[in-house]
Every structure is written in C-alpha cells, then in structure tokens.
A and B are shown apart, each in its own frame.
Chain A
Amino acid sequence: MTSQVFAQPYSRRNSLGWRLVLRILRNRSANVGMIILGILIIGCLAAPLLTSRNPNAISPTNALQAPSVTYPMGTDNTGRDIFTRFLYGGRLSLQVGIVAVTIGSLVGVISGLIAGYFGGWVDSAFSWITEVLLAFPDLLLALAVIAILGPGITNAMIAVGISFMPSFMRLSRSSVLSIREMEYIEAARALGGSNIRILFRHVLPNALRTLLVLATLGIGNAILAGAALSFLGLGAQPPSPEWGAMLNAGQKYVRQAWWLTVFPGIGIFLTILSINLIGDAISDAVVGATPKKK
C-alpha cells in the first residue's frame, strides 16, 4: 500500500482541475461548441484583417444589396456592409456577455460568501435581498435598471449584470454553507487565519467549480439578454453594430431584405448554442470529476 502511494508521485495530470479539463475535452458536443465559438471569436477579433470596410460607413447607392461576392451578407438601407457590421457587432455582443457576467458574479459571489460565512442577521439580510431580486423575472429586472440608468450599451451591461447577481449570490451562499463546517476550515481558523483569508483562500476555491458552470452558461444568457435589450431599443443605440440592435434595425425591412434579419440572428444563435454546449459539458464534468465522499 505504502509503496503504491510512493509509486504515484503527485502530478498535475492527476489533479482535479486537469481531470475536469480532460473530461470536457472528451465530450463531443463540447468540441463542436468550442470549434463554433472559436471561429466566431477569431473572426470578430480579426475583423480589421477580414474586411477593409468601416462598419458605420454609409453608401446610399449600394442600399439593400442582396448577398453577393462583393457583399457576402448584403447591405442595409444606408448601404452599410452587413458582413463588416456582423464582425464588429460580434465584438460588442461578446463584450456585453463577459462584462455583465463579471459584474453579476463579482458582486453576487462576494455577497454570497459573506452571507453564508457569517450567518446570523447578515445572512438573513442578504438572503432577503436575493429573494426580493429573484421576485423579478430576469428581463424585467434589467428593464427596471435601464429605466433608472437610461438606455445605452454600458447601462445594458450593468442592467444585465445586476439581473444575474441573485443567482450567483444564492449559489455561492449555499456552497459556503456546506463548506463552512468542514474540518479544514476549522483547522484554518484554529491556526489563526483571518476571516478574509479563510473566505478567499479556503472557501472560494472549493466553491469555484459550481460557480464556473453558472458563469459559463451565464455568458450565453447575458449575450441573449443584452441583445434583447438592444432589440427593444434600450441597449446599444444606432449606429452601433451590436447584433440585437442590427436585428431591430433590420425588422423594418423584413419584407424587402431577409439578410438583415437572418445574419445577425445566426450570430446570436450560434454563440449561445456553442456556449450552452460547452456549459453542459462543464456541468457534466464537474459532477463526474467530483471525488465521491467516503
């Protein structure tokens, strides 16, 4: 037994994180998702290399051109190239997703950790706030925040971020509640570790895996919510090429120019589909890679 233990020295390849990555990489749906998302991200980042046009440059003589070799995704009512707008717009949509989830997860996780770790009236107060925020369906909460801050893409990111806060708070709080009573936390406390050190050094890393699933799926939902706000005219404002705003602008020309509504929608759909496929795989891997309690 002892020799077996010595025969298997600690290696990064046996670590939980590595096992998690391997499980995700072995999942076929996740691979499809990663390829689609990779192509979209590289395409959007490499926009200046793929097109020499300006996303907001108008050319009235070329208005409403159907897709062709010159204009792969056609042009809009002011003659702007949809392909160029698609690539630059993707940057904005992805940015909305990432910034919103960062806001929601940072505020939500920190308040969830505090509520779960300290318990008592702190927990009751934070939990009540979470319950109240959860009483608003996601989009409605985002709309209420937009009503306060006013329309605009930055405000849309904040609004979507705030609407994501309660779910992060609830999850991190419940993770802390299960970790708080573990022996190693007691040991850290006995060794004189400060509350902040225990929270961020011992509790947070153990809650990270479940939060990772929520954050991954959250990015997809945040892109969707951001695009919905822009579609309603409350997020990105013209002439910004955000995908939701492009759909809003194209809606008026649905009878004459199908390409104005089809291509930006494909962008949103493929991004969210790929994130959902990856998120599902991470979720399966987290469940499968967690060591069974003995």
Chain B
Amino acid sequence: MYSYLVRRIITSILVLFGVSLLVFSIIHLVPGDPVTAMLGRQNMNAETVAQLRQQLGFDDPIPIQYWHYLTKALQGNLGSSIRNYIPVSDAIAEQLPSTIFLAFSALIVALVVGFFLGLVAALNQGSWLDTLAMGVSVSGLSIPTFWLGLLLILFFSVRLGWFPSISDSNNASALLLPAFTLGLPEAAVVSRMVRASMLDVLSKEYITAARAKGVSQAAVVFKHALRNALIPVVTFVGLQMAYLLAGSTVVESIFARQGIGRLAVRAISSRDYPMVQGVVLVISVLYVFINTITDITYVFLNPKIRLK
C-alpha cells in the first residue's frame, strides 16, 4: 500500500509540474507580442512597453523566466496585477474564502437533495416515484447553472421577494440561492450514484438475511444498506468539491458575488495576464490536491485495497 501512496504522490507532483508549465505558457502563447496585447492601444509608448517588459521579466531567456516563475510561485509570490498593481496572491487570498464557502454550501445542498432523491428512487424501484426522482435528476443534469440561477432570481427574488438577487455576503439568506444554483445540478449526479449504489447493496445476501431475521425496513435501510452504499459516494464527494470550486465562476457572475471565479472572468476581460495565471494556477493546484487526497482516502477506506 505504501508503494501505491508514494507512486500516487509522485504522479501528482509530475502533474503539478506540468500545470505550472502550462500556466506559465499562457502569457507566451498569446498571439503577437503579449506586452502590447496587455497594454492595449492606448498606452503604446516605447518607455511603458520597456518598463512592463522588464517588470514581467520578458528580457530573460524562456527557461530562466520559467525558473523564476516557479521559484517565486513556490514562495507564494504570483506577481502583481498589471491593472491595479496589487499582488496577485493578496487578491486571491481575499477572494478565495468566499468561493470555498459557496462551494461547501453547494456541496451540502448537493448531498442532502441527492441522497433524498436517490433513496426515494432506490426504495421504490420501478414505481412512479422512481421515474419522477430520476426524471428530476436527468433534468438537473441538463439545466445550465446560469439559467437555473436566473430562474431562481426571477421567482424567489423578483416575484416573491424572499431572497436578495445580489449575494455579496455570507449570511444564510444571501447564500441560499447561489448555493442551490451551484448545488442542484451536482445533486442530480449524487442521486444517480446513491440509487445505483443502494440497489446494488439491497440485492446482496446479507440484506436478505437481515430481512429474514425480521429486521425492520428502516433498520435494514439505514443500519445495513446505507452504510455500505456510502463508500463510493463518499469518495465521489471530494471530486464534487473540486468541480464546485471551478463551477463557482458562473454562479458568482450571476449573483454579483465576490470570489475567485469572478476575479478570473474580470482578469480575462481586462487582459490582466498575471492575475489570470494566478487564479488558474491556484484552482488547478487545489483540484490536483483534492483529487490526490480523495484517492488516498479511498485506499484507506476500502479494506480490499488497503490489505493488498
């Protein structure tokens, strides 16, 4: 098992190396001269161009530039925004908590709604309840988050006036609509997994044995079946969290909410490449980190793999 752990960690380090190379390349892959692209047509005097070129270290050979980028990034220095000159790491540190808070809230929505739908479908397999729950699930998979968000605003903010349409704080009423917008499509995925996992466990012999002993339906479901059906779902939760972090981009834009996703969109629109690089790097590093932890947790949770 330890050799697996070592291999998994080495793979992640190699992937992170590739991620850093790709993120570093963003600025160099811009068609034409990146410095003139960044400055736009207004500030094209030679002095400003030379100054920015030097600030970004473009006068050095590419491998040296990459080495500088990597060593600085490892120390938490991701450069400065070329629009407002604040350090990229400070801007990200300011916005990231709001995104993580939103992603966690969405995860809770995804799990609660997903488990409810999945259990209802599995325990009533083949009935109209199963069809209804899975119909809701496939609709959830097909609904674009940006449209769902607008519909929720239209109904709950504009028509009923229950929740604010702008969510620039972390209190419950401001967070509810964004969390549902981000979490409901993921709930559809969770419900499909819970249904499949529960149906698989419910057909096992030990469940038949428990029923034969006269154990009540509730005890069979919650004590015997659900616990075992949870394993694949729990490992999936880590991956969901990583997706939710990336998915926050759209939701933050709809609800005019602070966060790293909105920071990325603003940076792309204003061609603030150091900021784009910083945000892309942080989200992908978090993504790789969460995936690695999920894989390792799975090995610890699953005795079949652990004992090998």
Contacts and interface: CB of A to CB of B under 8 A. Distances in A.
Interface of A: 128-129, 131-133, 135-140, 143-144, 146-149, 151, 220, 224, 227-228, 231-234, 244, 247, 250-251, 254-255, 258, 261-262, 264-265, 268-269, 272-273, 276-277, 280
A129 B284 CA distance: 14
Contact of B250 (A148, A231, A264): A231
Given A232-B250, A247-B146, A261-B147, A136 B280 contact: yes
B41 to A, nearest CB: 14
Nearest to B21: A132
Given A231-B250, A233-B265, A254 B150 contact: yes
24 contacts: A128-B18, A129-B18, A131-B14, A131-B18, A135-B284, A135-B287, A137-B245, A140-B264, A140-B287, A143-B264, A148-B31, A227-B144, A227-B146, A228-B250, A232-B250, A234-B268, A234-B269, A247-B150, A254-B150, A264-B147, A265-B150, A265-B151, A269-B142, A273-B138
B141 A232 contact: no
A138 to B, nearest CB: 7
Interface string B1-32: 00000000001001110110111001001110
B237 to A, nearest CB: 16
A132 to B, nearest CB: 3
Contacts of A277: 138
A14 B37 CA distance: 59
A220 B283 CA distance: 25
Interface string B128-157: 000000000011011111110011011000
A144 B276 contact: yes
Given A147-B268, A148-B30, A224-B144, A131 B276 contact: no
B165 A139 contact: no
Contacts of B245: 137
Given A131-B11, A143-B264, A234-B265, A148 B29 contact: yes
Contacts of A273: 138-139, 142
B269 A139 contact: no
| B contacts with A: majority SS | helix
B87 interface: no
B181 interface: no
Contacts of B246: 137-140
B22 A132 contact: yes
B15 A132 contact: yes
Contacts of B29: 148
A163 to B, nearest CB: 11
A137 B268 contact: no
B242 interface: yes
B280 A269 contact: no
Nearest to A266: B147
Nearest to B153: A254
9 interchain residue pairs of minimum CB distance:
A132-B18, A137-B246, A265-B147, A273-B142, A272-B142, A261-B150, A147-B276, A231-B146, A147-B268
A264 B150 CA distance: 12
B253 interface: yes
Interface residues of B, number: 50
Contacts of A147: 26, 267-268, 273, 276, 280
Contact of A135 (B19, B141, B153, B254): B19
Nearest to A149: B31
Contact of B143 (A144, A255, A269): A269
Interface in B166-198: none
Nearest to B148: A265
A8 B276 CA distance: 64
Contacts of B288: 135
Given A131-B18, A227-B144, A148 B26 contact: yes
B144 A140 contact: no
Nearest to B30: A148
Interface string B224-267: 00000000000000000011011101100110000000001101
A144 B150 contact: no
Contacts of B291: 135
Nearest to A270: B142
B50 interface: no
Nearest to A276: B142
Contacts of A224: 144
Given A144-B22, A148-B26, A269-B143, 20 more contacts: A135-B288, A137-B245, A137-B287, A138-B246, A140-B280, A143-B249, A143-B280, A147-B280, A151-B269, A227-B144, A228-B144, A228-B145, A228-B146, A231-B146, A234-B265, A247-B146, A265-B147, A265-B151, A276-B138, A276-B141
B195 to A, nearest CB: 14
B268 A136 contact: no
Given A136-B19, A148-B29, A261-B151, A232 B253 contact: yes
B158 interface: yes
B142 A220 contact: yes
A137 B284 CA distance: 7
Contacts of B26: 144, 147-148
Contacts of B269: 151, 233-234
B147 to A, nearest CB: 3
B87 to A, nearest CB: 19
Contacts of A131: 11, 14-15, 18
